[in-house]
Structure 1
Amino acid sequence: MQTGEPSRTALGAAVYRAHHQVADAGRIFHDPLAVPIVGTMPELTDSFFDRDTHGRIRLLVAARSRFAEDALAEAVAAGTRQAVILGAGLDTFAYRNPHPRLRVFEVDHPDTQEWKRKRLRDADIPVPSSMTYVPVDFEHQTLDEAIAATDFELSEPAFVIWLGVTVYLTRAAVGSTLRYLGSLAAGSQLVLDYAEPVIPSTPEEHAAAEFRKQRLSQINERWLSFFSPQEMAAELHRDGFDVAEDLGPSATAIRYAGAPADTPERPGPHLLRAVVRG
């Protein structure tokens, strides 16, 4: 993102979540606030959503939100009382939080948070008392400093959601964040997504790669970091985590999109849940 402007990638993810409610009736991930927070935008009716590549991205965005919120619900049932959403963008969980005792901390750039708060006001979506904004400008502040300035309980387990971010960061930045998160209280959990290296080998994969390149170019972004499952597991282990679950693209499609159980695994985006060791 550019200083003084909201995150374009956050807007893109929000539009895909909203369009999932419209095009797919929210069959993977139901979010009654996804459309209101986006508002009346041409992206919701643009014909490009009919393209196969957009359809796959839309379902992936829906699946990763479902994966995260299902895991969070299990953690809350087991006693977790605080959640952190890194790079929250226009995520709406905090505003429809079904868990009365769960505190939610949204971490994002101040400009993105200001933009989001205007969206919330425009959509008449109230900010609950259980929600805390944690503004972080990483040019001047670290994540641990920002969180320490809130009433987040460092001695208590937390559930951290970090979606749609790691691929845009350098490996050094990913590692720095994971080291901090690995220092949270034992039993804390982390859900993240990451990109596995893919060498296009079929016309479909070449088309998807070119489509991604063009879309990122339009918003002056690019993908920086890729991890194999083995590399990501090793990184997490060094930083104090044990991997509890790692779904590749085929496993994700089987679980959430009704793909056949014998669908072969292939490289691509992964959804992962990890736990801080005792």
Structure 2
Amino acid sequence: MIEKEPSRTAWMAATHRAAHQVLESGRIFADPLALPILGLDAETVARDALAHPARRAMRAFVAARSAFAETALARAVEGRGLDQLVVLGAGLDTFAYRNPFADRLRVFEVDHPATQAWKRRRLGEAGVAAPGDLVYAAVDFERDTLLDGLRNAGFDDRRPAFFVWLGVAPYLTPQAVRATLAVIGGLPGSAVVFDYADPPSALSDEARAAHVLRAERVAALGEPWLSYFEPAVLHALLRNLGFVAIEDLGPPDLARRYWPVVARQAPERGGHVLLAAT
């Protein structure tokens, strides 16, 4: 990670969210803060996105995973009264600043202290105030455990929580992914939404070629993909860690739900978004 700036992959994800607002009018995921947090205008974002048409699939995936996560969160808040949200590896995520449950949902943003400092400066420059229900849980994972960092920030591990963990797991080792899921799996009544990818060997030739290009691009930024999972193996791991309900959407499922016009073109394997509850 570049010191005092967000990771390059966090920045790329934020530009995909912003481009979705501009090019698709936020059709499946509306985020009015997607542009302000970047400090870019709509024309600049659109021009860059249109200059790289191969990134359209990733933009669709990023928008879909955000829509899926926030819909699942809304069900948990409205249906079960859940009142704690943890955004792991928050990066440039904007949910806390447009929280529709501000009077009943406390948000903990977990990230590296340097990334959080950069984000807070950028929000200040954009005139976006930090809400009173937001807690910045600065966790340096080289020195702190996730649960200790959350507890120090006021998180109550005796009550259920919802975890949003998007765009992070693929860049961690399988051991680190398992460790984080084990923490969440030990919190009764809690849930997590995260994304992961099928192994490259499971992809079609065309999808594998596209994956290789993306993998090379993020590796060149110093943030290589380190984890892939076969769905059945991952589901078994989740059950062993205490999760009892799993909803896993692969490419065809995501396309049918969010992009039905192009559903027939969706590959069978690729990126997944998964909801698991204890």
TM-score using structure 2 length: 0.92
SS of 2:100's partner is coil
Residue of structure 2 in register with 1:17 after alignment = 17
Residue of structure 1 in register with 2:162 after alignment = 159
Residue of structure 2 in register with 1:77 after alignment = 78
SS of 2:11's partner is helix
Cα distance in 2 between the residues matched to 1:30 and 1:89: 18
Residue of structure 2 in register with 1:120 after alignment = 123
Q: CA deviation at 1:96?
A: 0.3
My pick for the range that moved more, 42-51 or 27-36, is 42-51
One-letter code aligned to 1:35: L
Structure 1 unaligned spans of 5+: none
Cα distance in 1 between the residues matched to 2:44 and 2:138: 28
Q: CA deviation at 1:51?
A: 3.6
Residue of structure 1 in register with 2:146 after alignment = 143
Give the length in aligned residue pairs: 274
> Residue 264 and residue 38 in structure 1: after superposition, are their counterparts in 2 closer, same or farther (change >3 A)?
closer
**1:133 has 2:101 as partner:** no
Deviations 1:37-75 (A, max 9, x none): 111279614445444421100010000000000000000
Structure 2 unaligned spans of 5+: none
One-letter code aligned to 1:15: T
1:89 counterpart (74, 81, 91): 91
Deviations 1:198-229 (A, max 9, x none): 33543x42441242033213311211110011
> Residue 264 and residue 243 in structure 1: after superposition, are their counterparts in 2 closer, same or farther (change >3 A)?
farther
SS of 1:241's partner is coil
Query: What's the C-alpha RMSD, in Å, of the aligned pairs?
Result: 1.9
Contact 1:134/1:146 (CA < 8 Å) preserved in 2? Answer: yes
Cα distance in 2 between the residues matched to 1:35 and 1:3: 23
SS of 1:126's partner is coil
Cα distance in 1 between the residues matched to 2:273 and 2:265: 17
- Following superposition of structure 1 onto structure 2, how do residues 110-259 of structure 1 map, counting pairs within 5 Å? 110-184=113-187, 186-199=188-201, 200-202=203-205, 204-259=206-261
Residue of structure 2 in register with 1:62 after alignment = 63
Cα distance in 2 between the residues matched to 1:263 and 1:198: 19
Cα distance in 2 between the residues matched to 1:262 and 1:23: 22
One-letter code aligned to 1:154: D
One-letter code aligned to 1:65: S
Cα distance in 2 between the residues matched to 1:242 and 1:122: 43
Contact 2:85/2:106 (CA < 8 Å) preserved in 1? Answer: yes
Contact 1:162/1:190 (CA < 8 Å) preserved in 2? Answer: yes
Residue of structure 2 in register with 1:6 after alignment = 6
> Residue 129 and residue 152 in structure 1: after superposition, are their counterparts in 2 closer, same or farther (change >3 A)?
same
Q: CA deviation at 1:175?
A: 0.9
My pick for the range that moved more, 50-59 or 77-86, is 50-59
